[in-house]
């Protein structure tokens, strides 16, 4: 007897060149570097150039993930792009990425779960691969979040940045009893009754505009740690592990205080937590794969490691995925 497992084969990331520091923001809104760092941990963020779109960031990250997996686009038969900032209302940004990668076979679609999008996309790719709908997938989180900000609203405009991260995953048949590898368990959750705590004040069928990010910051903060802990503990229980067995915790990078609070409540020491929020700010669905990419590239995450991904965001949505890392 064999079982199907979804293994991570490669990781890539891409950040637009332009860096916007807190000091620069001080010149345009009533804020200070000290306030932003103390409340969020954010020191700077990257901003996409004029004419540089979400699909461009996604395509760069995808190419790097393919190179790291030693695969070509011909090997891929599924692309999922998690994004809240698509190039166009339609077609899906995934279809535009497919075009930029020169791929006309397989499946491509977007996943809209705001900051939880990448974790949702990983669980979705895992299901597609385990059900035989595809064999190898590019799972991408990509955002030009700075394009839906109200740059006069200091309570939100200091928090977000642009970027993309991608992984290549592959379905592999393992003998029953073989050492465990790949995605071990995932949990996804949403609670639409909370939507007004974090949303855009516009959209295609309401205002005919994109709208801007609106957030009840304190309310989001109040719910975040509990929701994260709920799914992380659930995934650990599903896979038969405890928090002290984790090698790495790769959280959504919204706010340093939320990350610290969640790590503490779950029981993960700070030295096992990957942090990029200081350099990237909150890149929504791109934050988890970019953090993952950084920790794999610098050699912290190694084959055999037990890695927990988690995210929460607008909706509310939240989720976690546990991976036994492979080569």
Residues near ligand ACO (CB under 6 A) are 31, 35-36, 39-40, 115, 154-155, 158-159, 198, 215, 217-218, 220-221, 254-255, 258, 282, 312-313
Considering the complex, what minimum distance in angstroms separates the CB of residue 7 from ligand ACO? 28
In this structure, what are the phi and psi dihedrals at residue 280, rounded to the nearest 5 degrees?
Answer: -105, -15
Q: Catalytic annotation on 282?
A: yes
Q: Cα(167)–Cα(126) distance, rounded to whole angstroms?
A: 12
Residues 200/210, Cβ–Cβ less than 8 Å: yes
Residues 78/106, Cβ–Cβ less than 8 Å: yes
The nearer residue to ligand ACO, 152 or 180, going by C-beta atoms, is 152
The nearer residue to ligand ACO, 145 or 167, going by C-beta atoms, is 145
Residues 145/200, Cβ–Cβ less than 8 Å: no
Considering the complex, what minimum distance in angstroms separates the CB of residue 255 from ligand ACO? 4
Token readout for 128 is 């597609």
Please identify the residue of the shown chain whose CB is closest to the bound ligand ACO: 217
Considering the complex, what minimum distance in angstroms separates the CB of residue 16 from ligand ACO? 19
The nearer residue to ligand ACO, 78 or 159, going by C-beta atoms, is 159
Q: Fill in the DSSP letter of residue 73.
A: G
Residue with tokens 């659930």: 234
Catalytic residue among 252, 255, 280, 293: 252
Considering the complex, what minimum distance in angstroms separates the CB of residue 77 from ligand ACO? 31
The nearer residue to ligand ACO, 32 or 326, going by C-beta atoms, is 32
Q: Cα(5)–Cα(221) distance, rounded to whole angstroms?
A: 35
Catalytic residue among 22, 46, 157, 282: 282
Token readout for 104 is 């006309």
Q: Catalytic annotation on 115?
A: yes
The nearer residue to ligand ACO, 230 or 305, going by C-beta atoms, is 230
Helix, strand, or coil (residue 174): strand
Q: Cα(250)–Cα(45) distance, rounded to whole angstroms?
A: 19
Considering the complex, what minimum distance in angstroms separates the CB of residue 85 from ligand ACO? 13
Considering the complex, what minimum distance in angstroms separates the CB of residue 296 from ligand ACO? 23
Catalytic residue among 46, 115, 280, 293: 115
The nearer residue to ligand ACO, 52 or 153, going by C-beta atoms, is 153
Q: Render 4-16 in DSSP notation, one character per residue.
A: EEEEEEEEEEE--
Helices (H), the chain: 22-26, 33-40, 54-69, 93-100, 117-130, 154-157, 217-239, 256-266, 277-280, 287-297
Residues annotated as catalytic (active site), given as ranges: 115, 252, 282
């Amino acid at each position: 007897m064999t079982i199907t497992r979804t293994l991570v084969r490669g990781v890539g990331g891409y950040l637009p060149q332009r860096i916007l520091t807190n000091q620069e923001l001080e010149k345009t809104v009533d804020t200070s570097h000290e306030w932003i760092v103390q409340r969020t941990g954010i020191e700077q963020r990257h901003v996409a150039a004029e004419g540089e779109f979400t699909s461009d960031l996604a395509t760069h990250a995808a190419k790097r993930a393919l190179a790291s997996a030693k695969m070509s686009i011909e090997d891929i038969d599924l692309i999922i792009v998690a994004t809240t900032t698509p190039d166009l209302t339609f077609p899906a940004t995934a279809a535009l990425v497919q075009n930029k990668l020169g791929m006309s076979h397989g499946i491509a679609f977007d996943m809209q779960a705001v900051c939880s999008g990448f974790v949702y996309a990983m669980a979705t790719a895992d299901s597609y691969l385990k059900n035989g709908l595809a064999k190898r997938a590019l799972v991408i989180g990509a955002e030009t979040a700075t394009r839906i900000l109200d740059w006069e609203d200091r309570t939100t405009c200091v928090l977000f940045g642009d970027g993309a991260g991608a992984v290549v995953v592959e379905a592999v048949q393992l003998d029953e009893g073989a050492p465990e590898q790949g995605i071990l368990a995932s949990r996804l959750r949403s609670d639409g009754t909370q939507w007004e705590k974090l949303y855009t004040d516009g959209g295609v069928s309401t205002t005919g505009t994109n709208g801007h990010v609106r957030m009840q910051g304190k309310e989001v903060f109040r719910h975040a740690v509990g929701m994260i802990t709920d799914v992380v503990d659930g995934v650990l229980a599903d896979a038969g592990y405890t928090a002290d067995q984790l090698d790495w915790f790769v959280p959504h990078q919204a706010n340093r205080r939320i990350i610290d609070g969640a790590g503490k409540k779950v029981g993960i020491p700070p030295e096992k937590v990957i942090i990029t929020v200081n350099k990237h700010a909150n890149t929504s669905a791109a934050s988890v794969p970019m953090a993952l990419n950084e920790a794999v590239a610098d050699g912290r995450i190694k084959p055999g490691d037990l890695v927990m991904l988690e995210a929460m965001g607008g909706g509310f949505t939240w989720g976690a995925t546990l991976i036994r890392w492979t080569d």
